[in-house]
Amino acid sequence: MGQNVYADPKLQAAYEKGLKAGRIEGMIAYQKHLIENLQKENTALVKRLETERKSD
């Protein structure tokens, strides 16, 4: 992956495995955040569209 943090290959492998899992968890959390924001924006846009249709 990159620079070795541990001299022991088993410890290094465990470290890299944890690092990879942490990155994946971070990506999932970021995607959840994006989804929440898109849902809020969608709700606001639907309300705006309904308002526009009522004024016609």
* Residuewise pLDDT in 10s, the chain (56 residues): 568 999 999 999 999 999 999 999 999 999 999 999 999 999 999 999 999 999 87
Is 20 inside any structural domain? Answer: no
Is 15 inside any structural domain? Answer: no
Beta strands in the chain (DSSP E): none
Is 42 inside any structural domain? Answer: yes
Q: How far apart are the C-alpha atoms of 19 and 33, rounded to whole Å?
A: 21
Question: What is the predicted pLDDT for the residue at 2?
Answer: 64
C-alpha distances in Å from residue 30, one per residue of 1, 26, 43:
23, 6, 20
* Predicted structure pTM score: 0.70
- The total domain count for the chain is 1
Is 54 inside any structural domain? Answer: yes
**In terms of C-beta density within 10 A (0-12 exposed, 13-18 middle, 19 or more buried), how is residue 15 classed?**
middle
